[in-house]
Amino acid sequence: MERNELYPVFLKVSNLNVLIVGGGNVGLEKLTFLLKSSPNAKVQMVAPEFLGDTLELANKHGVEITKEVYHKKFLEGKHMVVACTDQPEVNEGVYHDCRERSILVNVADNPPFCDFYMGGIVTKGNVKVAISTNGKSPTTAKRLRQFFEDVLPEDIDDLVKNLNEYRKTLKGDFEEKVEALNEFTKSLVDKKK
């Protein structure tokens, strides 16, 4: 059976420099997705032209808009790049330029040219669940996202905050604190009989 070997991480994109290459519908989708999860992400977009909706969203979030064709000079100082033009040769060029510079890159709808995927995300306050289908099925990720949005209680953030306060009051070493928190939260995962 095939296995998902991706390693999930949660990036502080407000501390990183992100480049999106492409100003069309996919570029808007990627920007929307990124900003919905991380409204303070530091993003530059480069493309010869942009959709009006993209410019409006970019303006609201301080996204730097560069109306030029892609050139590798735009990779300077970037940590992460998303290539989503309607020209496969440009996207693949971005991929190779990034790989030469050890910059993480995602070429939209082209899994072999991706170091990472942008999966489904559910956010409820401090709780965030990321969903991956290993780049195989965005539709399944979307359905799972809807499922988790329904099943995660709205007050889960209160629980997280309360547990954080409780954790601060605990004495003992790391293992004793873990044991106490495990005992305290056991009822969350107990199967209903």
Is 134 inside a domain boundary? no
DSSP 190: P
Q: How confident is the model at residue 162 (pLDDT cuts 50, 70, 90)?
A: confident
Instruction: Look at residue 136 and tell me if it is in a domain.
Output: no
Same domain flag for 80 and 28: yes
Q: Taking a C-beta distance cutoff of 8 angstroms, is the pair 126, 160 a contact?
A: yes
Is residue 130 situated within a structural domain? no
In this structure, what is the dihedral angle of CA atoms 28, 78, 46, 136, given to the nearest 10 degrees?
Answer: -40
How far is the C-alpha of 32 from the C-alpha of 72, rounded, in Å?
Answer: 24
Structural domain for 178, as ranges: 156-189
User: Considering the chain, what percentage of its residues have pLDDT values greater than 70?
Assistant: 95
148 in a domain, yes or no? no
- The last residue of one of the domains, among 89, 118, 147, is 118
Question: 156-169 and 174-189 are packed helices; what angle lies between their axes, rounded to 10 degrees?
Answer: 150
In this prediction, residue 26 carries a pLDDT of 97
Same domain, 114 and 166: no
Mean pLDDT of the chain: 90
Per DSSP bridges, beta strands 80-83 and 17-21 are parallel
Structure tokens given for 149 = 């949005």
Q: By the 8 A CB rule, do 122 and 129 touch?
A: yes
* CATH code of the domain in which 103 resides: 3.40.50.720
Between residues 117 and 178, which one has the greater pLDDT?
117
Among 56, 91, 118, the domain boundary falls at 118
Residues 92 and 25 in one domain: yes
Could you give the C-alpha distances from 109 to 29, 64, 83, 106, in angstroms and in order?
A: 12, 24, 10, 9
pLDDT at 188 over 70: no
**Counted domains in the chain:** 2
Q: Domain ends where: 64, 97, 118?
A: 118
**Residue 66 within a domain:** yes
pLDDT tens per residue, range 98-141: 999 999 999 998 989 999 998 889 988 888 999 998 878 888 98
Is 50 exceeded by the pLDDT of residue 193?
no
CB 22 within 8 A of CB 85: yes
Residue 6: name the closest of 103, 156, 106, 133 by CA: 133
Contact 159, 165 (CB under 8 A): no
Q: Identify whether residues 32 and 98 lie together within a single domain.
A: yes
Q: Which residue has the higher pLDDT, 149 or 163?
A: 149
What is the C-alpha separation between 139 and 134, in angstroms, rounded?
A: 12
Q: Please give the average per-residue pLDDT across 158-167, as a whole number.
A: 78
| Whether 86 and 179 share a structural domain | no
- Same domain for 167 and 109: no
**Does 111 reside within a domain?**
yes
Is the per-residue pLDDT at 85 higher than 60?
yes
* Reported confidence tier of residue 65, pLDDT bands at 50, 70, 90: very high
